[in-house]
Every structure is written in C-alpha cells, then in structure tokens.
Amino acid sequence: MTDITRESIILKGIAATVLTICTVAVAIKITTDLTNIPDVYVSNLTQECIKVLNYVEHENYTCYDMPSRYNQVWVQ
C-alpha cells in the first residue's frame, strides 16, 4: 500500500468522523429546540387561548403575548 493510499484512507476516516459529529450536534440542537417550544391550550368550543405553558424559565408568554411558534393543545 502506498503512502498516498494510506493518507487517503485516513483523510476519509477523519471526514466521516467530522460529518458524524456535525450530524449528531444538529440533531441535538433540533431536539432541544422542539422540546422547549411553549404549549398553548386552546378551547375546542370557543377556539380561544386558555393558557400558555412555558418551558424556558425566562420566557413569559401569555394568551395576550403569544409566541411565534408553539404546540397547540386542544382542551374542552
């Protein structure tokens, strides 16, 4: 096996490792963002906001100050 082939194999291994680490990091970021989205409870009858459940400590969203992204939960 020549030095060029050996170096090529090593570089491919390093590239695959870096790609794997980046993919895992992005998956963790997406999962964290999705689990921190507030829940907005909406009445099934009136279609109005009942309450907002915030999961991040510094966020204080209410029915009058709705977040731009949220999980909608239907309630009776």
- Residue 73 is predicted with a pLDDT of 93
26/59 same-domain check: no
Residues 76 and 42 in one domain: yes
73 with 41, same domain: the answer is yes
Check whether residue 20 and residue 42 sit in a common domain: no
DSSP state letters, 33-68? HHHTSPEEEEETTT--EEEEE--STT----SSS--S
Q: Is the pLDDT of residue 2 over 70?
A: no
pLDDT tens per residue across span 4-56: 788 888 888 899 999 999 999 999 988 877 778 899 999 999 999 999 999 88
Q: pTM higher than 0.85, yes or no?
A: no
Which residue type is seen at 33?
A: D
Q: What's the domain range around 22?
A: 1-35
8 A C-beta contact, residue 38 and residue 55: yes
pLDDT value at residue 72:
92
52 and 70: one domain?
yes
Q: What distances in angstroms separate CA 23 from CA 5, 28, 29, 34, 36, one per listed residue?
A: 27, 9, 10, 17, 20
Residues 49, 25 share a domain: no
The answer to whether residues 49 and 22 belong to one domain is: no
What is residue 31's predicted lDDT score, i.e. its pLDDT? 82
